[in-house]
Structure 1
């Protein structure tokens, strides 16, 4: 297939065009609209006074329905405002109780840690004993501040009141003093109580979505969870310093708790600007400190020297770690108080806003009732004229809606005509990004030899005419050889076969036939007439077969694209090819070699990214069918 010369006139490009001069009322003739207007006017003039009075009574009944509905809506809004006002008061109380729970949880965390250290020293009467007694006193005070009839919590699947929980804690304390409680049982017991208290605290704080405080609640509760995990780490590691129990199992548990703490921190710093600011201004980073502890405590040097230390030295390390972690936890508790104040302030703002809306709705209700009576008379006088105008507007709106529907169909047709029919249909129905894996496809990529040099000595119009002519020629040939145009980028032109419809092994033969046809046409191709001088153009072609992923990118202007190493290899073969030559990879050659249809010469080896060095060929010609 040859050609002496290809000019812009030979490329036929179809465009959908919207006629901007088309009237929106064209779907309904002006004569039809005038006829409807005349009928409406005649009916309006034919009413007698008696019929008008009768219709007025009907109108009164009709207007009462929306008036009563409006009054009902205003009343409902009034009730909703009152409900929000009452709920905000309850929420403020719940936040205050939640703060008491948070204080109790902090005291339990501190008692848990100090008691763990005490157990690690085997109950010796050391300074930890006095500290533990002080912690117990603070915990008892925090318990006394909780309303006795407040929500109960679950322990071991059994519901316990706050008083019963307090009694169980006293029993556990006696076990610690007489040495009958193990460290792990002690930690599990206190942790279960804290989890139960946090669950009760979270259940009490409930806000509807309209109150704009949900994120603050999430941040507050996440901060409490984070503090409890840090408290558990404080208790465990302080105990391990005292016993040198830094095993791989304890390290795994340490990393698990650290990761869980990081997750909660990401939540409350993301949802609360106040907490994020407070933590960003913190002098000591919790994560950095925990990481330093991990590197130090589980290091070989420390493990080798730990058990050689005296009990007093190990206890000193334990107390130092406990004090450092306590500073972090105290800071977290201060931040909890800050967040509680922020939440309370927002709830007071909600309450103030609810009171304002309550007064507004009440005023509106009174005004609506009074004005509705006055407007009823005016409504009766104007209803006929309004009916006429509404009918007229309905005709125009209907015409415009029909016109807009037609324009929408044209827009969608323009939008999806760039995609394969199968993909366009699926995308239009699903409205989602469609992607698919293909095991075997063949990619064709070409560019113009010396295009950069040509661009420097040619005008933008000349380059546009050249590419428009060349792409139009290639586009027409894609239909003949049943290959799919993928995209153009500058002077690069990319087509593929085997996507989106799988055609077995025929994809390689189709691409090769397409490439040879392009090759033959380019022998007689010259620049368009817009160029100052007549000169020929050569292209380089790279072809490669292999797997890839095909999919649609974007919804506003969707495009079907291919990704994968197969595309990259085809680009490399194109770059390492020659003008007027078709550079073929070995994988494509394996598909076409048994057909006996194509003439191929070995070119040598080419180095590609991802596939290494591959064997390549020149595709020269094809025999007559």
Structure 2
């Protein structure tokens, strides 16, 4: 912009010379006109130069005002919803109490009340909780559809009230068991719990997520405690729990404790408050623990007269504990969120006023300053974004590297700072494979050709592996090691997963050729063994997840003593398939082999799996038994091929 400006001033100098010459001729009016034009042109240039940055600053300020307005709207909505969510939480609590006392009533009704006075007393408590529920529903009539999103019986208050009344009328008639009662209330409670946190989780306010998560965990803990309260009340009312109800009680009790632990991990303030609250309620906790132990034993020496009172005593203790621990913690979180929202609201208003002042100042402050600040701000934002993008990219690369070196569950635990100790697994199946003649192929191929071959081979094998519950431990050259049942135990399914995967692997490799020698097919040798193994992380600079134990060594021996395009399995694996997957696999005995470090071992060939479109070809002679091949065939035929199913 400087050069045109100088040229223009040159023009003006020429104009002034002309004006001077004209003035000498008495034409001063022309000189005045030329100077006026010069000033107007200079002013236009300044305006043209100033408008773009000024407009940009104004635009950015207006955008900021818009964003602040949206933030204020979100904050106001969250503030309003918090007060409404308290009502929703009260409805959840009321339904939990009604559910629990109804379970106590049904249990006593099933075995018979001691007298009408006791029955009336328990029913009076049930009715009291029903009235409490009805009162909360009445308070929520006007805001029900705004708080609760459900297409079923919860879509409006009147429908839910009708369904609830129908259930209440059926208690003691068609509703006669604790399980029926729990199955009615629990789905509604779960929907209400979800809707309690829905608005919070729909927001983009990351600063609230820790508190939101703690609140959600506390609500789930209260639900589990409510189930524990209801089922425990049933125990004390009748003196025992049926097996399915007993299992439900154990699961609910453990889940409630776990939810409380997760809530403590979600927010440090919640953790400190819960620890203090638990300490203050230690006497009540001891009573509840003693009664819980009695429930776990599933037997009681209470007299018939004492059963109803003990059921109510248990129910009241759990209710008090829930109020002391969970309700008070909920109040803490609500107070914390209210304080944060109030602070955010104040900050948003401050930012809004600042933005308005900035727009006003932008209209007054000189153009060069506005332009400079705008450019510098954009430049700084650009640098910050670039650094953040670089940081995120580096983080993603690090995570991909970690997940490629270790199992996902182990890698995630390490990311959380957990200590991964070596672990022994009682049930696992280990797979080894390599390519026959790989050393010869390498010696007659270029390094690039070898890399291309391995890349194609590993890509094929990895694609097969993705279809099964298996973990690739490592690859060295053409050797490929896989395990199932480690690091995540899968019961008895490990041998099924590995053997099916091995057949699939052999099927895919049978169709592969050496890329730079299309006429030469790849031939794979596979060995499998099942049993106990240890696993852990080894190394610091380059940590690896490794397997140890005799099971691993034997699997390696199965591979090294096997034949190309065959799958040799150990007696352990054969017995495991026979025991747990009878009729699914076709296995043929190979015979007795001398296994290094193991002595003589009878091994087997895995031939096929029922329903799998591939079978191993065993028509070629076995070189290990070449000297007695005829006898072996006769023996196999006489034994109906020694097939195990």
Q: TM-score range by the shorter chain?
A: 0.5 to 0.7
* In structure 2, distance between residues paired with 1:552 and 1:220: 40
**Offset at residue 47 of structure 1 (A):** 4.2
Q: Deviations over 1:427-480 (max 9, x none)?
A: 999755654999599xxxxxxxxxxxxxxxxxxxxxxxxxxxxxxxxxxxxxxx
Q: Deviations over 1:278-319 (max 9, x none)?
A: 2212144799877654532242xx63x55xx54322223212
- Out of 62, 84, 97, the position equivalent to 1:75 is 62
2:99 aligned residue: 112
**Offset at residue 135 of structure 1 (A):** 2.1
**Offset at residue 348 of structure 1 (A):** 0.9
Does the residue aligned with 2:144 lie in a helix, a strand or coil?
Answer: coil
* In structure 2, distance between residues paired with 1:203 and 1:173: 29
Contact kept in structure 2, 1:74 and 1:361, CA below 8 Å: yes
- How many matched pairs? 388
Q: Deviations over 1:491-528 (max 9, x none)?
A: xxxxxxx9843489xxxxxxxxxxxxxxxxxxxxxxxx
Q: Deviations over 1:352-373 (max 9, x none)?
A: 1111111111111111121144
Does the residue aligned with 1:246 lie in a helix, a strand or coil?
Answer: coil
Higher relative contact order (CA 8 A, sep 6+): 1
TM-score, scaled relative to structure 2: 0.51
* In structure 1, distance between residues paired with 2:545 and 2:158: 67
* In structure 1, distance between residues paired with 2:542 and 2:218: 45
TM-score, scaled relative to structure 1: 0.52
**Offset at residue 163 of structure 1 (A):** 2.8
Which aligned pairs between 1:240-279 and structure 2 lie closer than 5 A? Answer: 240-279=235-274
Could you say if the C-alpha distance between residues 501 and 224 of structure 1 is closer, same or farther in structure 2, counting changes exceeding 3 Å? same
Aligned-CA RMSD value: 4.8
Which one is further off, 124-133 or 85-94? 124-133
Does the residue aligned with 1:212 lie in a helix, a strand or coil?
Answer: helix
**Offset at residue 158 of structure 1 (A):** 4.2
Contact kept in structure 2, 1:110 and 1:135, CA below 8 Å: yes
**Offset at residue 186 of structure 1 (A):** 2.0
* In structure 2, distance between residues paired with 1:144 and 1:109: 17
- Out of 226, 230, 234, the position equivalent to 2:229 is 234
**Offset at residue 203 of structure 1 (A):** 2.3
2:320 aligned residue: 327
Q: Deviations over 1:321-376 (max 9, x none)?
A: 21221121112122212221211111111111111111111111111121144758
2:122 aligned residue: 128
Does the residue aligned with 2:180 lie in a helix, a strand or coil?
Answer: helix
**Offset at residue 253 of structure 1 (A):** 1.3
Q: Does 1:49 align with 2:3?
A: no
- Out of 264, 284, 305, the position equivalent to 1:312 is 305
1:143 aligned residue: 137
Which aligned pairs between 1:343-382 and structure 2 lie closer than 5 A? Answer: 343-373=337-367, 375=369
2:198 aligned residue: 203
Contact kept in structure 1, 2:405 and 2:544, CA below 8 Å: no
**Offset at residue 87 of structure 1 (A):** 1.9
Could you say if the C-alpha distance between residues 277 and 163 of structure 1 is closer, same or farther in structure 2, counting changes exceeding 3 Å? farther
* In structure 2, distance between residues paired with 1:296 and 1:219: 31
2:477 aligned residue: 501
2:76 aligned residue: 89
2:163 aligned residue: 168
1:462 aligned residue: none
The answer for unaligned runs of 5 or more in structure 1 is 1-39, 380-385, 387-426, 442-497, 505-546, 570-585, 592-611, 616-625
* In structure 1, distance between residues paired with 2:343 and 2:287: 39
